[in-house]
Structure 1
Amino acid sequence: MSEHQINASARKDEGKGASRRLRHAGQVPAIVYGGAAAPESIQIEHNPLWHASQNEWFYASILTLNVDGKSQQVLLRDMQRHPFKQQIMHLDFQRVDENTAIRFNVPLHFLNQEKSPAGKTAGVIVMHELNEVTVSCLPRNLPEFIEVDLSALTAGDIVHMSALKLPEGVTIPALKLGKEHDLAVVIAKHARGAEEETAAPEAGEVPSTKSAKAAAAPAAAPAKKK
């Protein structure tokens, strides 16, 4: 598990007015909660935070939050963005206990799709039904992503959650609820046009256009004898 660090400082002023002044000053108001400690109001410099938010790890890994030099392990639980500006408005972080299992949504990385038989077959669509999956594990075992190798995928195949290769110590809680919760992750199927072409019955003896027209035309009257 890689370490990703976010620097912050404590703040005492709260309320909408204080948050507005922070944003004008290039800071983002945030809160840290959970664990044995009380909730803590903090502020983070916007521009480094914005650059961090462009990475997948910001949403899918445990972050090391340094508040005035004191480090704590947290997960991002909520982020509010401005409706149309490239601006982060507020963040919620949750502290994690290294000895307590957590549930978190982990992104899926699909590999070798273009090399698979399905990926090389014309008229076959490979559909990603899920882009992330909820896992349960201790914080130290939390993966930043889960790889899904599609190199053997063929037309008609369905890859379910139960087929995912999980790191040691990581489980998918939904699979304990029954087979109906074993959702499809990837489906490889023929496009509709290709299915119709494949399903069409073999053609019988069909008259040519000229023959069909001739058959539809009335028979010519016999010539009269002079």
Structure 2
Amino acid sequence: MAKNQTVKLDFTKREVTGTGACRKIRSKNLIPVVLYGPDYKNGLAGTVSVRAIAPVANSGHRETTLIELAISDGTTASALIRDVQRHPLTRQIRHIDLYQVLKGHKLKVEIPVRIANADTAKGVKEGGLLTHSTRLVLVEVQPSDIPEEIVVDAKDLEMGAEVFVKDLAVPEGVTVLTDPEILVLHISALRSSDDEEVEGEEESKEVEVVAKGKAAKEEE
């Protein structure tokens, strides 16, 4: 359960905002961004390189990847991606919101839950169906200790096995805030054709009984 690697980006402050200005920015292979947070309550507008930010913004771990910003005024800031706006058709990145995180202060962040060996789990090999119910858990953690993901190894899980949030293995220093009784995954038996036939027969008998009862009442 490795920690996310820190990404370093150059952040150039900008004074001009608006649709027209953002269009010009994007034509230069830059992305307009705004940095919010404790030290930037009104938001700090800037630009970052598309080439530098795209791998993070397009990854499955974009909201847990710590970004170290080198701001053009000589200051620095740590941040996480909070929102990515995309073109509705091309899906190209149009704008990004960043949120400042302070070192030494814990933050709340959702961590992806990944199931390893899902296809080779004992219960699945026996014909069961593995259902992944919870894919994100909320945790409280230091910015430098944010885990990339929480992994559940399903290899030895048998038919009927259940894994709850309380069963997840998390690194030291990570506090899970999601309800511990929430189900993360379970392996259930698939209904066989025999079970469906039996159920169908029971339904037919029930209909038959109701029909006889109705007929008896009509005769009275």
Amino acid at match of 1:6: L
1:161 Cα deviation from its structure 2 partner: 0.5
1:50 to 46, 50, 54: 54
**Residue 73 of structure 1 aligns with which residue?**
78
**Contact 2:70–2:76, Cα closer than 8 Å, also in 1:** yes
CA pair 44-117 structure 1, distance change in 2 beyond 3 A: same
Higher mean displacement: 82-91 or 58-67? 58-67
1:125 to 125, 129, 148: 129
Determine whether 1:182 maps to 2:185. no
1:14 to 1, 7, 17: 17
1:125 Cα deviation from its structure 2 partner: 0.7
Instruction: Describe how 1:23-62 pairs up with structure 2 within 5 A.
Output: 23-38=26-41, 39-62=43-66
**Residue 210 of structure 1 aligns with which residue?**
none
Determine whether 1:90 maps to 2:95. yes
Q: Deviations over 1:148-185 (max 9, x none)?
A: 1212211111111110011111112133xxxxx62111
CA pair 22-195 structure 1, distance change in 2 beyond 3 A: farther
Higher mean displacement: 47-56 or 70-79? 47-56
Q: Deviations over 1:116-139 (max 9, x none)?
A: 2112112x1101112221111121
**Residue 4 of structure 1 aligns with which residue?**
7
**Contact 1:141–1:168, Cα closer than 8 Å, also in 2:** no
Instruction: Describe how 1:81-160 pairs up with structure 2 within 5 A.
Output: 81-122=86-127, 124-160=128-164
The alignment's C-alpha RMSD in Å is: 2.3
- In structure 2, distance between residues paired with 1:183 and 1:164: 11
Gaps of 5+ in 2: 200-220
**Contact 2:137–2:177, Cα closer than 8 Å, also in 1:** no
- In structure 1, distance between residues paired with 2:141 and 2:111: 11
Structure having the higher Rg = 1
- In structure 2, distance between residues paired with 1:193 and 1:138: 49
Gaps of 5+ in 1: 176-180, 202-226
How many residues align structurally?
194
- In structure 2, distance between residues paired with 1:139 and 1:195: 54
Q: Deviations over 1:39-94 (max 9, x none)?
A: 21111222432233333343322111222364321011111111011411111111
Identity of aligned residues (%): 24
Runs of 4+ in 1 over 4 A off after TM superposition: none
Determine whether 1:192 maps to 2:196. no
- In structure 1, distance between residues paired with 2:134 and 2:89: 27
Amino acid at match of 2:7: H
**Contact 2:57–2:84, Cα closer than 8 Å, also in 1:** no
Between Structure 1 and Structure 2, the one with more strand by share is 2
- In structure 1, distance between residues paired with 2:82 and 2:194: 44
1:164 to 157, 162, 168: 168
CA pair 140-48 structure 1, distance change in 2 beyond 3 A: closer
1:192 Cα deviation from its structure 2 partner: 2.9
Amino acid at match of 1:23: R
